[in-house]
Chains A and B, each alone.
Chain A
Amino acid sequence: MAKIASFGAYVPLFRLSREEMANAWGIPAVPGERAVANADEDSITMAVAAGADCLGASGKGIDPSSIDGLFFATTTAPYNEKQCAGVIAAALDMRTDINTADYTGSLRSATTALRAAVDAVDSGSAESILVVAADCRLAEPESMLEQLLGDGAGAVLISKQGSATLRGFTSIAGEQIGAWRRSKDAYVRSFEGKVESKYGYVLSAVQAGKDCLEKADVNPADVARGVITAGDPLSGGKVAGSIGVDPGKLEDVLFFSVGNPGVPLVLMMLANALEQAKAGDKLLVVNNGDGADAFVVELDEEFAALEGRKSLVGHIFQKKNLPNYTSYVRFRGLMKKETVDPRGSAVTYWRDTKIELNFHAYKCTKCNAVNYPKPRVCVECGTKDQFEEVKLPKTAIVFTYTLDHIDAGQYCNVAVPRLVIDLEGGGRLFLSMTDADPDDVEIGMPVDIVFRRLHEASGFYNYYWKCRSLPEAGS
C-alpha cells in the first residue's frame, strides 16, 4: 500500500502586514499578515523549494534519482501551454525516464495529484512519486481577498516504503461557481461567500469526510488530528463538528501567518501534522475545491528527522517584513515598468539544461578542478574532454561581491548583489543574490542556492539559480 515517505513545505521569506495593505487603500484591515513571493518567484520556483525541502539536504537526504514521477498541482501555472512539472523535475535533478504531470484548474488539485500518485504506487506502475503543489494567486487590488491570500508551496513523497499509510480515499464532485478565474482574467473572483460555504464547501467536505472515515473504518473520535482546509479560521471547525471530529484537534489553516495559499494549503498543513504525529496516530485529511477529497493517514511510526528539511515551522518563523504595500505591488508586477530583456534562446535552454536546471558541473579527472559552465578543455590544466559530471552542492561561501546598480543596462535604485561564491568540494560561480538587504552582504558569508525566475527573454521563463542568506529564525 502507498505510504508517505517524506513531506516538505515552503513559504517565501517576505510577509506583509494586512494593516499596511488596508492603509494603502483606506479600507478595513483583516488581522495578521500574509506571505508574499519575491519578484523572482513563481509557482514553479516555489514548488522546487518545497520539493527540495521534502527530499532534505542535497547528498544527505533522499536521492532524487530514486523517484519515478513528479506531479505538480497549482492554479497559477506560469505556462498555459507547456508542462511545468518537467521544469521542476529537472531543477530537482530527477531522472528523465519518469512520469511528470501538471494537475491544475481546481483548488483541490493537490489531493487530485496525491490520489493519482497513490493509485500509481498501489497499481505498481511506480515505486514512488513526488507530489508538489504551489500557488501565487492574485486578487483584485483594493479587495479584501487581496489581504486574505498568501503564497506558498507544499510537497509529499508517496512511496511503497514510508512511515505513514494512506487509506480510505474518497472524492466528491461538486459543481458550483465558488472561486474562479477565467483564462482571460488576471484576478481570482468569487461569488457571495455564504452561498459557497453553505452549499458548496461545507456540504461536500462533510460528505467526503464521513464517507472516508466509514470506508477506512475509523471512528471520528479516534482521529488524532484533522487536516481540514478552509479559507478562514472558522469553517474547518464547522466541518469537523458535522463529521464528529473534535474541532480542537484541527491543524491551523495558516490564516494569520501565511494567508490562504490555495492549492498547496493541504500539503503545508499535512506537513505540519506529520511532523508532530506519533506512531499509531490517525489523521483525517479533507481538502475542498469544486467538491472535496478526503483520506486517512495512519502513522506506522514517527517520522524521523531529515537533515535539511525545515517543513512548515522552519519556514514560517524565518521571515522578513515588507515595509509597505508598494513592495507587494513591485513584487507582483502590478505596475508595469519598461524592462529590457536580454536575448533568450530555446536552443541554448535545451542544450544547457544540465548546467542551468540540474545544476551539474564538470570535474576534470586529471586535475580535479570543478569546471562550470560545461567546458571541452579544462580551465585550470588544459586537458581536453576528461570530465566527470558532478552535482553541485546548494551551499557556498562568498569570495567577493559587488552591489550593482546597473542591471540589464538600466540604472536601478536598489542595487543587485552579484556574488562570486566558492562551493563546498570545489567550483566557483557568479550568481545574483535574492531576498537580500544589499547592506548585509559580506565576504566569507555562507549562502544557500535557490531556484528563481531570472527573466523572460524570448517570451519564455528563463529560470536559474540565485544565492540567499537567511536571517536567524525569529519566533
Chain B
Amino acid sequence: MGSIKDKTAIMGVGCTAFGEHWEKDHEDLIVEAAYEAMDDAGVTPDDIEATWVGNLYDFTGLSGAVAAEPLKLFGKPTTRVENFCASGMDAFRNACFAVASGAYDVVMACGVEKLMDVGGTGLPVDMGHPVLRGSSAPGMFALTATRSFHEYGWTREDLAHVAVKNHINGAKHPKAHFRREITLEKAMNAPMIAWPLGRFDCCAMSDGAAAVIITRPDIAKTSKHKHDYALTKANAMVNEAMLPMYRRSFDFLGFEATRVAARTAYEEAGIKNPLEEIDLAEVHDCFSITEILNIQDLGFCKQGEGAKFIRDGHANVDGKLAVNPSGGLKCFGHPIGATGCRMITEVTKQIQGRAEGAQVQNARLGVAQNLGGTGSVCSLTILGLPE
C-alpha cells in the first residue's frame, strides 16, 4: 500500500463562526468559508480545479450542487461526500488523494450543514428501517458510557470534566458556538438527555461551514504560506459495523474504527509514541464520553485511563497533549458535514502558530479525528510543518 505522507499540502483554510445562523442559508455559509480559505491561500475560484463537499442531510443540500451552485464552480467537478459525521474529513481525504494522483494541482475540500433549519431537538434519527432502529445520537453513545461506568467505575463527574475543559477552550475562540465557561456542578446538574448523558455531555447543534485549499508541496513552496504550509503526514479511514448494538464482539468501551485508523496513521507518519510526539489533537467529542474513549483509542493513554488523563489536566491546552483546544464539538459546535474540515482548519492554524482561540505553545504536529455513526467510520489526519 502506498502512502499520502508529504504528498499534499494545505495552502489555506477558512471557517465560519459556528452557531445558530437563523438569518443565513447554506449558500451564505459555504461562500464565507470558501472565500476565507481562498484568500488565505492566495487563490481565486478560477484556480480551484475540483471540489469535494462534505454534507450529511438532504435539507442542507443535494449532490455536488451543495458547493458548486453557491460558489458557481461551473465547468469542473464537484462531488458531494456523505459518510455520517465524518463526511467533512472524508471530503478532505478524497481531495488529498486526487492531488496526490497528479490529476489536479489545486483543489478544495469543504463541508457545510444547516442543522438549525429543522430545529434543535437533536439530529434527525430516521435510520431507514421501520423497526430495526438505532436510537437518538446521544442514546447510542450513552450505551458506551453505561458500559464504561460498569467496567472502569467512571461516574458522571468524569464526564463533566470533559465539558468543563472544552468550555474553557471554547470561551477563548471567537468562532465557537458557546463562549462561556461552566462549573463542574452546572455540568453535573444539567437535565438528562439520555442517561448517563446530560445536556452538557452533548455537543452543540450548530450551523456552519469550513473549507481547505489543497495542493502539492512543490506548489505550496511558492504560495502565500510558502514557509508554513501544513503537510499531510498521514490520513487513514476505517469503516466498521453501522449498528454495533447487534454485534456480540463489540465491547462498548471504545471504537475499533479509531483504533485501527490511529495505528495505520501513526505508522504512515512514523509516530512511535503518540503522547510524546503529538502536540495537539482535535478529536470528535460529539459527547463527553466519546472524547474520553477517543483519547484511549488514539493511544494517548491506556484503556481505562481516559477519564484520569482528563482529570489530571493532561488534555488541557498547557497539558502533555492538548485535546480540543478549539473547544471541540461540545463548544465550538457540530454542523455535521463541516466538522471534519473545521478540525483540519484548527490543526493547521495551531501548527502555524496563528490559532484564533487558545494557542498550544510550540505546536508542530497535530491530529484531527473525525468519527461518524456509532463509531461506524473514523477518518483521521495528521498534519505537520515542512522541515
B-binding residues in A (CB < 8 A): 342-345, 348-349, 352, 355-356, 369-370, 372-373, 379-380, 399-411, 415-416, 418, 420, 422, 426-430, 438, 443, 454-455, 457-458, 462, 464
Which residues on A sit within 8 Å (CB–CB) of B135? 402, 404, 406, 416, 418, 430
* A409 & B124 in contact (Cβ 8 Å cutoff): yes
Tally of A-B Cβ pairs under 8 angstroms: 117
Which of B129, B195, B243 has a CB less than 8 Å from the CB of A415? Answer: B195
* A408 & B129 in contact (Cβ 8 Å cutoff): no
Closest to B141 in A: A402
* A404 & B252 in contact (Cβ 8 Å cutoff): no
Q: Mark B49-92, 1 if CB is under 8 A from A, else 0.
A: 00000000000000000000000000000000000000000000
B131 within 8 A of A: yes
* B252 & A399 in contact (Cβ 8 Å cutoff): yes
A400 touching B252 in the complex, CB below 8 Å, given contacts A415-B194, A428-B246: yes
Which residues on A sit within 8 Å (CB–CB) of B133? 342
Bound-complex Cα distance A342 to B131 (A):
9
Which residues on A sit within 8 Å (CB–CB) of B143? 400-402, 418, 420
28 CB < 8 A contacts A-B = A343-B128, A344-B130, A345-B130, A355-B132, A356-B131, A373-B246, A400-B147, A400-B252, A402-B138, A402-B195, A402-B196, A404-B138, A404-B139, A405-B192, A406-B121, A406-B122, A406-B136, A406-B139, A409-B121, A415-B192, A418-B143, A426-B248, A427-B248, A428-B248, A429-B245, A454-B130, A462-B131, A464-B131
* B142 & A443 in contact (Cβ 8 Å cutoff): no
Bound-complex Cα distance A406 to B145 (A):
17
B1 within 8 A of A: no
* B130 & A402 in contact (Cβ 8 Å cutoff): no
Closest to A422 in B: B248
A95, chain B: closest CB distance, angstroms:
23
Which residues on B sit within 8 Å (CB–CB) of A356? 131-132
A446, chain B: closest CB distance, angstroms:
16
Bound-complex Cα distance A30 to B335 (A):
58
Which residues on A sit within 8 Å (CB–CB) of B243? 430
* A369 & B248 in contact (Cβ 8 Å cutoff): yes
Bound-complex Cα distance A373 to B169 (A):
43
Bound-complex Cα distance A379 to B239 (A):
13
A372, A409, A430: most-surrounded residue (chain B CB, <10 A) = A430
Which residues on B sit within 8 Å (CB–CB) of A457? 130
* A409 & B128 in contact (Cβ 8 Å cutoff): no
Bound-complex Cα distance A457 to B136 (A):
18
Closest to A380 in B: B249
A420 touching B252 in the complex, CB below 8 Å, given contacts A400-B150, A402-B194: yes
Which residues on A sit within 8 Å (CB–CB) of B142? 402-404
B126 within 8 A of A: yes
* B130 & A349 in contact (Cβ 8 Å cutoff): yes
Q: Mark B136-161, 1 if CB is under 8 A from A, else 0.
A: 10111011111100100000000000
Bound-complex Cα distance A438 to B249 (A):
26
* B194 & A403 in contact (Cβ 8 Å cutoff): yes
Which residues on B sit within 8 Å (CB–CB) of A348? 129-130
User: Quick one: which of B86-143 are within 8 Å of A by CB?
Assistant: 121-122, 124-126, 128-136, 138-140, 142-143
B272 within 8 A of A: no
Which residues on A sit within 8 Å (CB–CB) of B122? 406, 409
Give the 5 A-B residue pairs with the shortest CB-CB distance, closest first.
Answer: A402-B142, A430-B245, A403-B195, A404-B139, A406-B136
B contact face: mostly helix, strand, loop, or mixed = loop
Which of B130, B146, B252 has a CB less than 8 Å from the CB of A462? Answer: B130
B301 within 8 A of A: no
* A404 & B248 in contact (Cβ 8 Å cutoff): no
B101, chain A: closest CB distance, angstroms:
29
B130, B140, B193, B245: most-surrounded residue (chain A CB, <10 A) = B130
A167, chain B: closest CB distance, angstroms:
45
Bound-complex Cα distance A430 to B135 (A):
9
* A443 & B147 in contact (Cβ 8 Å cutoff): yes
Which residues on B sit within 8 Å (CB–CB) of A454? 130-131
Which residues on A sit within 8 Å (CB–CB) of B150? 400, 443
Bound-complex Cα distance A380 to B241 (A):
10
A429 touching B130 in the complex, CB below 8 Å, given contacts A404-B142, A415-B195: no
B325, chain A: closest CB distance, angstroms:
30
Which residues on B sit within 8 Å (CB–CB) of A379? 241, 246-247
Which residues on A sit within 8 Å (CB–CB) of B250? 428
Which residues on A sit within 8 Å (CB–CB) of B144? 400
Interface contacts beyond A404-B142, A415-B192, A415-B194: sample of 16 additional A-B pairs, CB < 8 Å, sorted by A: A345-B130, A372-B246, A400-B143, A400-B150, A400-B252, A401-B146, A402-B142, A406-B125, A406-B139, A407-B136, A409-B125, A411-B121, A429-B245, A430-B134, A455-B130, A464-B131
* B130 & A418 in contact (Cβ 8 Å cutoff): no
Which residues on B sit within 8 Å (CB–CB) of A462? 130-131
Which of A342, A418, A430 has a CB less than 8 Å from the CB of B246? Answer: A430
* A399 & B147 in contact (Cβ 8 Å cutoff): yes
Which residues on A sit within 8 Å (CB–CB) of B128? 343
A343 touching B126 in the complex, CB below 8 Å, given contacts A404-B136, A410-B121, A415-B195: yes
Closest to A403 in B: B195
Which residues on B sit within 8 Å (CB–CB) of A420? 143, 245, 252
Which residues on A sit within 8 Å (CB–CB) of B121? 406, 409-411
